Chain A
Amino acid sequence: MLRIDDLSINYGERVVLEHVTFGVESGQVVALVGPNGAGKSTLIRAVSGVTPIKSGEVRIDGRLLSRLSTMERARYLAVVPQARSLPPAFTVYESVLLGRTPHLGWLGRTGPHDHKRVKYALEHTQMLSLAERYVGELSGGEQQRVLLARALAQDTPVLLLDEPTTHLDLQHRENLIRLIRDLALRKDLAILMVLHDLNLAGLYADRVALLVSGQLQAIGNASEVLTEAQLSRVYQMPVRVIPHPDYGTPLVLPDGGGKNLS
């Protein structure tokens, strides 16, 4: 469904992404992990059309992204950005409704289908009770869920998420990730998710892509990618990986010495 071929991005002299190639199938969750500054957010921006692509190709459902208009692209691909300040004066409902933009006409006329879609999005992110609150009054985690609900309302076959769990507590984090997994399976969405938490990646992603300094160092299932050798090299620190007691997925334990600093 989403195919990235030989994507390279430079900001002037600085190389940010180099020959990145991989794909995300419908019904699949791919976690994009890697150290800070690896280019993960840049990749999201390039694929979503914010940063122009001069070298390489991105295809959705076989169609070249660069040939699509901004609106057409938004019907294929929705982005949940990193939590940043949302316009405070809109209500939750109004904000999520704006996710319907690529499906509406110029004047933004909405129909019953659009409102049904918004309700669906609010239900699945547990935001229905907060629908009439002003976004400016919400906590960081609640604002994060507004962004997710908005992307869900956009109703696209591909979903890109840039660190969606940043402000969320344990419960909301698990709920969100499980929802994302659920969407991939039930709605057959292709989901690319930037994650800092390697353990979440191990537990919930079908495949893990490791991006380091703009290059895709490894891609495969979690046990193949999240190895002690690979991770300690990439993060430049000792790392232990043990299998999860219940699921067998890799659990990454940074080995800094804990409280006993010797």
Chain B
Amino acid sequence: MKMPLGRALTLSLLLLATALFLSVAIGSVRIPLQSIWSIIAARAGWTTVSPDEAGMFSTILLDIRLPHAVLLLLTGAALAGSGAGYQGLFRNPLADPYLIGVASGAGLGAVIAMSIRWPEDLAGLYVIPAAAFIGAALTVIVVYSLARIGKSLPTTTLILAGVAISSFATSLTSFLMLRSNEQLRRATGWLLGGSLMSGWQPVIALLPYVILGLAALLASGYALNVLQFGEEQATQMGLPAERVKFGLVLAASLTTASAVAFSGIIGFIGLIVPHLVRLLWGADYRRVLPLSIVSGGTALLIADLLARTVLAPQVLPVGVVTALAGAPFFLWVLRRSKNQGYW
């Protein structure tokens, strides 16, 4: 019998906390463990520390690294959550916001908003994820209509449509960025997966969208289970299938948009994490969703850690790391899903 959800969740949260700590502790500037501890203690109000001693470290830790880590955490959680959502919705183990083109659509939405007006303040920042959401939702609709054959969504057409739309959206995005205002043009690194801007502001702007999207997905766990039997049987079992699907598309698109808005296009987290979660803990979406969300945060933090340390002092875009790990994994899943039906 599989591990009960409570225990699995605790374990995942512990891993997440560890990853978060490592992400904050490790960086280009070496901060001794002692200082980290005393800064945390000071912030928590347990002890007092003279500001001179920890001044610079404090800034790096709390104003640069921590918000960056939290942003990654939210992004990873959103990517894995929406990946699990799309896989359940399309009943296809290869649905991942990146592969099906939704992430690119979200990126395009975000860039359009940014090229119209570069966000100068918090209010401006709130607009970005909303624009990304519109891009994501439109992309899902287009990809779904392109890829659908009768009542089913075959893997081949899904990936093909995703690739096509993704290429189109990414090219348009690059074009807009090059043509655009100064700040946007310099942000090409963002496209491959990297922070668009630093500090706490993007985190604050992102929070309501991520929370809303993930909450909606979490609430749909049982409905996703029923949907695995197909719309016809789901209706016969009492689920208003069309309505539920629509709600899921909105929730998953909002979540994807949140991930892409400030962190760029990072692939394969939405594919790998839900898969591993299913392998370890079963196919019940009431477990897959929360565990994917937590593990997604962990995964992206680890990927980012690798991106920053593997070629130190050079920093790789985190999307490169996830692609290097993700592409072989994707091929493995593809092979496996041809033989077994197990996903």
Contacts and interface: CB of A to CB of B under 8 A. Distances in A.
B309 interface: no
Contacts of B284: 90, 94
A79 interface: yes
A98 B340 CA distance: 23
- State which size class the interface on A falls in: 20 to 34
B237 A98 contact: yes
Interface residues of B, number: 27
A108 B234 CA distance: 14
Contacts of A69: 240
B225 A74 contact: no
A43 to B, nearest CB: 14
A79 B236 contact: yes
Contacts, number: 80
Contact of A106 (B222, B228, B230): B222
B interface secondary structure, majority: loop
B238 interface: yes
Nearest to A105: B222
Given A90-B228, A98-B225, A101-B226, A74 B237 contact: yes
Contacts of A79: 233, 236
B276 to A, nearest CB: 14
Interface in A50-103: 50, 69-71, 73-75, 77-79, 81, 84-90, 94, 98-99, 101-102
Contact of A136 (B91, B237, B341): B341
Given A89-B283, A94-B284, A136-B341, A154 B232 contact: no
B245 interface: no
B228 A101 contact: no
Contact of B283 (A73, A74, A90): A90
A193 to B, nearest CB: 15
B233 to A, nearest CB: 6
11 contacts: A50-B235, A71-B239, A73-B238, A74-B236, A81-B233, A87-B228, A87-B229, A87-B283, A94-B284, A98-B237, A101-B238
Interface of B: 91, 219, 221-222, 225-226, 228-230, 232-233, 235-241, 278, 282-284, 286, 340-343
